[in-house]
Structure 1
Amino acid sequence: MTNFKKREKHLRKMLQEQPNNTEIMNKLALTLIQRNRYMEVHKYFLKACSLSPNVQQLTNLAYFYFTEGKPVLEEGEKEYGFEHANQEAIELLEKAVLDNPTFHLPYSLLGWIYMYEEQESKAIEPLLKSVSIKPEIDAFNNLGVCYYRSNQMEKAAFYFEKAYSQDTSSLMPLLNYGICLAKLGEGKKALDIANKLVQLNHKQSEVNFGDIAAIYYTLQQYEEFIETFSLEDIDFLTVDWLPPYFYALNYVGNKETMEQLVENIIKRKEADIQEVLADNDEEWEPGRKEEYIEEEKQDIAYLRTERGKVLKGIRPKIKVELSYGIGLCYYFGCEEHGNPSIQEME
């Protein structure tokens, strides 16, 4: 196991001897990440970027802004906090790719952040550039999500399959591929994938069973949908996830079970409202208690409305949230994740 305290001490000594060496600054910043010293991480990434704004320093500062945010001192506060800084990250990465670098990291990261900001049309070009340099699971999967969101299902399925082929132990692109195939009407393939996902997810717990169940629902395999969806802790799901479950129960002849489930959820919410009304805890922010009660009342009204639709035979749409950003490391020079620095690659 790496002794990060010892590494930090060694790098600080080196930096004293070479105060403008940006490679040492980068290594020190990456070491300080492991020690949760984020203000100092920002200091060294920012300084390295100002001294040498090359693709490595621009990308590393951008990734820090995307994952941790930008330090800010709020009025009246004594300690710095971190605020959302995705736009700053995008600007840094757009500058990083201006000279058409031959490294995939800035392109893949830029595409990911564009997606996070729901700018899929901008995300596709850097993601395609990324996979042309280095085929890897994250960019392929993100491309699939971009095309899925723009209703280009065949292209989406192509890239999800590509993503899964990069790492067949990862369930996220396989889930996305299965959902996409179900939408395309590829029933046999989609059903095989759903069955495989259920089996693997019992061991890996990587994706939500509710998302796997969406494949069965799309294929109108309601018994399998109910069995898989029931593996979720239904008490902790937001109400907008529940109507397809109500529909499936009613469809297979379990109307009473469906009715009882709806009533139980409503009773819990009504009891929760009474509990909140009786709660005199001063920790409630002004207006938040009233807002919370109103949200619970809206949930109750929603449940009753959706139950009524189900009893009329109206099939609700299922909520599907494709996963993206698998969690690869985008720091140049990160030894812990096997990312070489530009200096090591040249």
Structure 2
Amino acid sequence: MTASLEQLRRCHFAVDLGAARTRVYVRGVGLVVDQPSVAAVNTRTGALIAVGEFAERMKGRTPHYIRVVRPVSGGTVVDIEMAQRMLRGLLGDKVRRALRRKPYLRAAACTPHEADPLARRAATETLVGLGARRVELVDTLIAAAVGCGLPVQEPEATMIMACGTTTTQVAVLSLGSSVAAERIPVGGEAVDHAIVQHLRHQHELTLPGQSVRPLHIALSNMGITAQGPASTEIRGRDVVTGLARSVQVDTAAVRNAIETPLTAVLDGIGRVLRECPPDLVADLVDRGITMVGGSALLPGLDQMLREATGMPVHIAEQPDVCAVRGLGYMLEGRIEPLMLAPIGA
């Protein structure tokens, strides 16, 4: 953990800037923002037109002079100025005025595991632009583990898997820090892309840009497991004619299509386990893996991990808000620090 719990208790608000959604927690108030990390800009005037849900609905439906952008990619701010403007719009005037009244405004933010100095600086400058005088950075994996109630501070193994939009982070935690961790450049978008490509090549079908998670449309019930439905109907646009049509999709073929991106995740889990001391791996036999993040809800993903690893796999309650909830717990002082004072003579 980059920041100490004592420093985090002095923070007034916390931000989880994700590639898919942005969440803001205000101490004493709770979660005040949970919106898509999207902004719409008028390229002629430079004016910000919309942010959040409304901006996301504009994607693929705007005239040429309106650009819909995502200032965050893979948990890293790629456009600091646009991220600041988006956050101001999401917070609204009332919350911003309340924060500005703080005499020495402090903020906390999640950063991906082993984020490089540029990524940490971008997160810091984004919140400084909102008026924060000091910014504390917390590893996303530790914040998420705290948010789903795992005993992060104890001398025992806790394995967490943060399934994001563009990346998947896996770590074994003990005594408040990561013992072994892996950041895999595969997330929910890679799974969606594999399904979209399969439908295009095998069925000459293009899904609409506003379809809600192609995987959720293509699969149901038992999801990507073999016990799921044999086929399902899906609607889209014909690649050749451009007309709308529907086809029956073989879910077994869909499972094969998404095998490649999910195999990379399984390989990452294996590498993390091989780096861990045997005593910690033994702890995980009963406790297993806890999945957090929005992509943890991909249907059947937990069952596939159980079959591949032989360990229990649990999906956290409200997995998509675990990281910001963990930051909130730290701000509110709900987490007791583990005292490791030196033994005096």
TM-score, normalised relative to structure 2: 0.27
- Greater RCO structure (CA 8 Å; 6+ sep): 2
Q: Which is helix-richer, 1 or 2?
A: 1
- Give the structure with the larger strand fraction: 2
Q: Which has the larger radius of gyration?
A: 1
TM (normalized to structure 1)? Answer: 0.27
